[in-house]
Homo-oligomer: A and B are copies of this chain.
Amino acid sequence: MLADGRKEFIELWGDMGAHWGVPRSMTELHALLYIVGGPMNTDEIMKQLSISRGNASMTLRTLLDWGIINRTHKLHDRKDYYTAEQDVWKLFATVARARKRRELEPLAARLKSLSLKLNGDATSEGVAHRERLESMLKFIVQFDGLSDQFLSMGGLSLDILSNLIGSGKKTLP
């Protein structure tokens, strides 16, 4: 039913997900909704991707949790319909923010408490270890802060920053 190019896009997106440690069906399902553009219900999705109802249900829920798809309804139809966010920047920012919250922030917190724990150790070795730990921590905190700012800049950030950093060299003639 879906033309070749679209199937290939879905596969491609699935490969990408697999590479990133995200279940293949997660990114595939999202790719399907993204490329189709309009709302689809669970059965249509199951058929297109040939996945089970259970899998579809769990994956849809996770995508909803991540905030990159939405649930809608049609009149006189009890089925749930799903649509993907079409703004690529929003998509990216949502996923990035979620990852940041789930991974970077807990990491920083654990490093911080570890650093405190090492305070007691006054041996030269202990001090050296704490220093290394702290430069790691410092980096992560800085990176975290920068990504906050970056993500709150909105969709034009990429253009703006490219110009800022590259001192305008790389723009088109």
On A, residues with C-beta under 8 Å from B are 3-6, 8-9, 12, 16, 19-21, 34-37, 86, 88-89, 92, 103, 107, 110-111, 114, 117-118, 121, 126, 128-130, 132-133, 135-136, 138-139, 142-143, 145-146, 149-150, 153, 158-159, 161-162, 164-166, 170
Bound complex: CA A136 to CA B107 (Å): 30
Beyond A34-B136, A142-B159, 16 additional pairs, beta carbon < 8 A: A3-B118, A4-B117, A5-B121, A9-B133, A12-B110, A20-B103, A21-B21, A34-B132, A35-B132, A35-B133, A36-B129, A88-B139, A139-B158, A146-B162, A149-B162, A161-B165
Establish whether residues A166 and B139, one from each chain, have CB atoms under 8 Å apart when the complex forms. no
- Nearest residue in B to A133 (C-beta to C-beta)? B9
- Nearest residue in B to A167 (C-beta to C-beta)? B149
Establish whether residues A37 and B146, one from each chain, have CB atoms under 8 Å apart when the complex forms. no
Establish whether residues A129 and B35, one from each chain, have CB atoms under 8 Å apart when the complex forms. yes
- Nearest residue in B to A3 (C-beta to C-beta)? B121
Interface of A is mostly: helix
Which residues of B are found within 8 Å of A126, using beta-carbon distances? 3
Known contacts: A114-B5, A128-B37. The answer to whether A88 contacts B136 by CB under 8 A is: yes
